[in-house]
Amino acid sequence: MQTAEQTDHTTTNPVFGFTILGSGSNGNATVIHGPEGNILLDAGFSRKELERRMRQRNIEPSGIKALLLTHEHTDHVQGCRVFADHYNCPVYLTAGTENKLPCKNCVPAQRILIESGAVFQLCGLRIEAFSIPHDVEEAVAYTFHCGNKKLGYATDLGMTGMMVLNRLQACNALVLESNYEPSLLQASGRPLPLKRRIMSRHGHLSNAAALEAAEQLLHDAMSHIVFAHLSTECNDENKVYDGLCHLLQNCQRHHHICPQVAKQHEPLDTVWL
Protein backbone atom coordinates (compact mmCIF):
# COMPACT_ATOMS: atom_id res chain seq x y z
CA MET A 1 0.00 0.00 0.00
CA GLN A 2 1.44 3.34 -0.95
CA THR A 3 0.67 6.54 0.86
CA ALA A 4 -0.62 9.49 -1.11
CA GLU A 5 2.68 11.21 -0.54
CA GLN A 6 4.55 8.23 -1.93
CA THR A 7 2.34 8.10 -5.02
CA ASP A 8 2.88 11.79 -5.72
CA HIS A 9 6.58 11.32 -5.34
CA THR A 10 6.77 8.67 -8.05
CA THR A 11 5.59 11.18 -10.63
CA THR A 12 8.71 13.28 -10.18
CA ASN A 13 11.48 11.12 -8.73
CA PRO A 14 12.02 7.47 -7.99
CA VAL A 15 10.76 6.63 -4.50
CA PHE A 16 13.66 6.88 -2.08
CA GLY A 17 13.39 7.71 1.58
CA PHE A 18 13.47 6.41 5.12
CA THR A 19 11.28 6.21 8.19
CA ILE A 20 12.98 5.80 11.56
CA LEU A 21 10.51 3.66 13.51
CA GLY A 22 12.46 4.17 16.70
CA SER A 23 16.06 4.57 17.80
CA GLY A 24 17.90 4.48 21.10
CA SER A 25 19.64 2.11 23.45
CA ASN A 26 16.40 0.11 23.92
CA GLY A 27 15.55 -0.59 20.29
CA ASN A 28 16.37 0.41 16.73
CA ALA A 29 14.51 -0.07 13.46
CA THR A 30 14.23 1.97 10.27
CA VAL A 31 12.32 1.38 7.05
CA ILE A 32 14.26 2.24 3.91
CA HIS A 33 11.91 3.00 0.99
CA GLY A 34 13.18 2.06 -2.46
CA PRO A 35 11.63 2.27 -5.93
CA GLU A 36 10.85 -1.46 -5.84
CA GLY A 37 9.82 -1.93 -2.21
CA ASN A 38 10.73 -1.42 1.41
CA ILE A 39 13.61 -2.79 3.48
CA LEU A 40 13.73 -3.01 7.27
CA LEU A 41 17.10 -1.94 8.64
CA ASP A 42 17.49 -3.61 12.05
CA ALA A 43 14.56 -5.03 13.99
CA GLY A 44 15.13 -4.06 17.61
CA PHE A 45 11.46 -4.21 18.61
CA SER A 46 9.01 -7.09 18.83
CA ARG A 47 7.11 -8.00 15.65
CA LYS A 48 3.90 -6.53 17.07
CA GLU A 49 5.66 -3.28 17.95
CA LEU A 50 7.35 -3.09 14.54
CA GLU A 51 3.95 -3.57 12.87
CA ARG A 52 2.33 -0.99 15.12
CA ARG A 53 4.97 1.62 14.37
CA MET A 54 4.91 0.89 10.63
CA ARG A 55 1.14 1.32 10.51
CA GLN A 56 1.48 4.60 12.42
CA ARG A 57 3.40 5.82 9.37
CA ASN A 58 1.18 4.16 6.73
CA ILE A 59 3.73 1.46 5.96
CA GLU A 60 2.26 -1.97 5.32
CA PRO A 61 4.41 -4.59 7.11
CA SER A 62 3.77 -7.18 4.39
CA GLY A 63 5.45 -4.77 1.93
CA ILE A 64 8.83 -5.30 3.62
CA LYS A 65 10.93 -7.26 1.10
CA ALA A 66 14.07 -7.88 3.18
CA LEU A 67 15.77 -7.18 6.49
CA LEU A 68 19.28 -5.82 6.89
CA LEU A 69 21.13 -6.17 10.17
CA THR A 70 23.98 -4.02 11.43
CA HIS A 71 25.01 -6.37 14.29
CA GLU A 72 23.66 -8.80 16.84
CA HIS A 73 22.99 -6.64 19.91
CA THR A 74 19.44 -7.13 21.18
CA ASP A 75 18.47 -3.51 20.56
CA HIS A 76 18.92 -4.32 16.83
CA VAL A 77 17.66 -7.89 16.49
CA GLN A 78 14.93 -8.38 19.07
CA GLY A 79 12.11 -8.97 16.57
CA CYS A 80 14.24 -10.05 13.61
CA ARG A 81 13.53 -13.79 13.48
CA VAL A 82 9.83 -13.52 14.25
CA PHE A 83 9.24 -10.67 11.78
CA ALA A 84 11.35 -12.14 8.98
CA ASP A 85 9.89 -15.63 9.27
CA HIS A 86 6.32 -14.33 9.54
CA TYR A 87 6.64 -12.24 6.38
CA ASN A 88 8.93 -14.72 4.63
CA CYS A 89 11.75 -12.18 4.19
CA PRO A 90 15.44 -12.87 3.70
CA VAL A 91 17.76 -11.34 6.29
CA TYR A 92 21.07 -9.87 5.13
CA LEU A 93 23.79 -10.06 7.76
CA THR A 94 27.50 -10.67 8.19
CA ALA A 95 28.84 -14.10 9.19
CA GLY A 96 30.12 -12.53 12.42
CA THR A 97 26.63 -11.31 13.26
CA GLU A 98 25.06 -14.65 12.33
CA ASN A 99 27.48 -16.50 14.63
CA LYS A 100 26.71 -14.25 17.57
CA LEU A 101 22.93 -13.98 17.39
CA PRO A 102 21.84 -14.13 21.05
CA CYS A 103 20.02 -17.48 20.87
CA LYS A 104 18.97 -20.24 18.46
CA ASN A 105 15.48 -18.80 18.58
CA CYS A 106 16.85 -15.59 17.08
CA VAL A 107 18.12 -17.19 13.87
CA PRO A 108 15.81 -16.42 10.91
CA ALA A 109 15.10 -19.12 8.32
CA GLN A 110 16.33 -17.21 5.26
CA ARG A 111 19.77 -15.69 5.69
CA ILE A 112 22.01 -14.06 3.11
CA LEU A 113 25.57 -13.49 4.23
CA ILE A 114 27.30 -10.26 3.27
CA GLU A 115 30.81 -9.07 3.96
CA SER A 116 31.84 -5.62 5.00
CA GLY A 117 32.66 -3.89 1.74
CA ALA A 118 29.83 -5.71 -0.04
CA VAL A 119 27.83 -3.85 -2.68
CA PHE A 120 24.43 -5.30 -3.60
CA GLN A 121 21.07 -4.35 -5.06
CA LEU A 122 17.75 -4.57 -3.22
CA CYS A 123 14.39 -2.92 -3.90
CA GLY A 124 15.92 -0.81 -6.67
CA LEU A 125 18.62 0.56 -4.36
CA ARG A 126 22.37 0.04 -4.46
CA ILE A 127 23.51 -0.76 -0.94
CA GLU A 128 27.05 -0.67 0.40
CA ALA A 129 27.99 -2.27 3.72
CA PHE A 130 31.11 -1.13 5.52
CA SER A 131 32.70 -2.11 8.80
CA ILE A 132 32.49 0.08 11.87
CA PRO A 133 34.38 -0.11 15.18
CA HIS A 134 32.01 -1.59 17.77
CA ASP A 135 32.42 -4.22 20.46
CA VAL A 136 31.22 -7.13 18.32
CA GLU A 137 32.86 -9.38 15.76
CA GLU A 138 31.59 -7.89 12.51
CA ALA A 139 29.34 -4.83 12.79
CA VAL A 140 28.50 -2.90 9.64
CA ALA A 141 26.90 0.39 8.70
CA TYR A 142 25.27 1.06 5.33
CA THR A 143 24.92 3.60 2.60
CA PHE A 144 21.93 3.47 0.24
CA HIS A 145 22.07 4.88 -3.27
CA CYS A 146 19.26 5.69 -5.70
CA GLY A 147 19.96 7.71 -8.87
CA ASN A 148 22.21 10.52 -7.66
CA LYS A 149 20.88 10.43 -4.07
CA LYS A 150 22.68 8.90 -1.12
CA LEU A 151 21.60 8.06 2.42
CA GLY A 152 24.19 7.18 5.06
CA TYR A 153 23.23 5.31 8.21
CA ALA A 154 25.83 4.73 10.95
CA THR A 155 25.09 3.98 14.60
CA ASP A 156 26.87 1.86 17.22
CA LEU A 157 30.40 2.98 16.50
CA GLY A 158 33.05 3.96 18.98
CA MET A 159 34.71 6.44 16.67
CA THR A 160 34.54 7.86 13.16
CA GLY A 161 37.96 7.25 11.66
CA MET A 162 38.92 8.21 8.11
CA MET A 163 37.43 5.04 6.66
CA VAL A 164 33.99 5.71 8.13
CA LEU A 165 34.10 9.41 7.23
CA ASN A 166 35.04 8.54 3.66
CA ARG A 167 32.08 6.19 3.37
CA LEU A 168 29.71 8.85 4.66
CA GLN A 169 30.89 11.64 2.34
CA ALA A 170 28.37 13.32 0.04
CA CYS A 171 25.22 11.99 1.72
CA ASN A 172 22.00 13.85 0.94
CA ALA A 173 20.67 12.48 4.22
CA LEU A 174 22.76 11.28 7.12
CA VAL A 175 21.67 9.32 10.18
CA LEU A 176 24.46 9.32 12.75
CA GLU A 177 24.76 8.07 16.30
CA SER A 178 24.92 10.64 19.11
CA ASN A 179 24.82 8.27 22.04
CA TYR A 180 25.83 9.90 25.29
CA GLU A 181 26.82 13.04 27.14
CA PRO A 182 30.03 12.21 29.06
CA SER A 183 28.97 14.06 32.25
CA LEU A 184 25.64 12.17 32.36
CA LEU A 185 27.38 8.87 31.68
CA GLN A 186 29.90 9.52 34.45
CA ALA A 187 27.14 10.49 36.88
CA SER A 188 25.02 7.45 36.00
CA GLY A 189 24.89 4.39 38.22
CA ARG A 190 26.40 2.20 35.52
CA PRO A 191 29.29 -0.05 36.53
CA LEU A 192 32.72 1.33 35.69
CA PRO A 193 33.57 -1.40 33.13
CA LEU A 194 30.36 -0.59 31.23
CA LYS A 195 31.15 3.14 31.29
CA ARG A 196 34.61 2.34 29.94
CA ARG A 197 33.14 0.13 27.22
CA ILE A 198 30.69 2.80 26.08
CA MET A 199 33.42 5.45 25.94
CA SER A 200 35.99 3.21 24.22
CA ARG A 201 36.91 3.28 20.54
CA HIS A 202 34.68 0.23 20.12
CA GLY A 203 31.74 1.58 22.10
CA HIS A 204 29.43 4.44 21.19
CA LEU A 205 29.77 7.99 19.84
CA SER A 206 29.50 10.83 22.34
CA ASN A 207 27.51 13.95 21.48
CA ALA A 208 30.71 15.91 20.92
CA ALA A 209 32.18 13.21 18.67
CA ALA A 210 28.95 13.12 16.65
CA LEU A 211 29.01 16.89 16.15
CA GLU A 212 32.66 16.81 15.14
CA ALA A 213 31.98 14.08 12.57
CA ALA A 214 28.86 15.84 11.31
CA GLU A 215 30.79 19.06 10.80
CA GLN A 216 33.19 17.24 8.51
CA LEU A 217 30.34 15.67 6.55
CA LEU A 218 28.12 18.72 5.92
CA HIS A 219 27.99 19.79 2.28
CA ASP A 220 25.83 21.76 -0.13
CA ALA A 221 23.63 18.88 -1.31
CA MET A 222 22.79 17.59 2.17
CA SER A 223 19.14 18.18 3.04
CA HIS A 224 18.61 16.10 6.23
CA ILE A 225 20.68 15.12 9.22
CA VAL A 226 19.30 12.95 12.00
CA PHE A 227 21.10 12.19 15.25
CA ALA A 228 20.07 8.76 16.52
CA HIS A 229 20.65 5.96 19.02
CA LEU A 230 20.57 8.27 22.03
CA SER A 231 21.15 6.62 25.39
CA THR A 232 17.95 6.74 27.43
CA GLU A 233 19.76 7.35 30.73
CA CYS A 234 22.88 9.17 29.69
CA ASN A 235 21.68 11.72 27.17
CA ASP A 236 19.31 14.62 26.81
CA GLU A 237 17.28 14.87 23.61
CA ASN A 238 16.88 18.66 23.82
CA LYS A 239 20.58 19.18 24.34
CA VAL A 240 21.37 16.99 21.32
CA TYR A 241 18.89 18.90 19.15
CA ASP A 242 20.22 22.28 20.31
CA GLY A 243 23.79 21.15 19.66
CA LEU A 244 22.92 20.10 16.13
CA CYS A 245 21.05 23.36 15.38
CA HIS A 246 23.98 25.32 16.76
CA LEU A 247 26.40 23.45 14.50
CA LEU A 248 24.27 24.09 11.41
CA GLN A 249 24.04 27.80 12.23
CA ASN A 250 27.76 28.09 12.85
CA CYS A 251 28.43 26.42 9.52
CA GLN A 252 25.78 28.52 7.72
CA ARG A 253 23.93 25.33 6.79
CA HIS A 254 20.70 25.98 8.68
CA HIS A 255 18.84 27.22 5.59
CA HIS A 256 19.09 24.00 3.64
CA ILE A 257 19.62 21.17 6.15
CA CYS A 258 16.75 19.92 8.31
CA PRO A 259 18.02 18.71 11.71
CA GLN A 260 16.20 15.99 13.65
CA VAL A 261 16.74 13.74 16.65
CA ALA A 262 15.37 10.18 16.44
CA LYS A 263 13.12 9.10 19.29
CA GLN A 264 13.01 5.87 21.24
CA HIS A 265 9.27 5.69 21.75
CA GLU A 266 7.78 6.94 18.48
CA PRO A 267 8.57 6.97 14.77
CA LEU A 268 9.72 10.09 12.98
CA ASP A 269 7.94 11.26 9.82
CA THR A 270 9.21 9.73 6.61
CA VAL A 271 12.00 11.67 4.94
CA TRP A 272 11.87 11.62 1.12
CA LEU A 273 15.01 12.34 -0.83
Nearer to Zn ion, 138 or 156 (CB): 156
Nearer to Zn ion, 179 or 270 (CB): 179
Torsion from C-alpha of 163, 164, 165, 167, nearest 10 degrees: 90
CB of 192 to Zn ion, least distance (A): 19
Could you tell me how many residues of this chain bind Zn ion (CB under 5 A)? 3
Nearer to Zn ion, 132 or 257 (CB): 132
CB of 102 to Zn ion, least distance (A): 12
Q: For Zn ion, which stretch binds (CB under 5 A), given 78-86, 156-164, 194-202, 244-252? A: 156-164
156 contributes a contact to Zn ion by CB under 5 A:
yes
Q: Where are the alpha helices (DSSP H) in the chain?
A: 4-10, 47-56, 74-77, 80-86, 95-99, 162-167, 182-187, 192-199, 207-217, 237-250
Q: Is the dihedral of CA 198, 160, 69, 100 positive or negative?
A: negative
DSSP character string of 195-249? HHHHHSTTS--BHHHHHHHHHHH--TT--EEEEE---SSS--HHHHHHHHHHHHH
Binders of Zn ion among 48-87, rule CB under 5 A? 73, 75
CB of 198 to Zn ion, least distance (A): 10
Nearer to Zn ion, 172 or 179 (CB): 179
Nearer to Zn ion, 32 or 154 (CB): 154
Which chain residues interact with Zn ion by CB under 5 A?
73, 75, 156
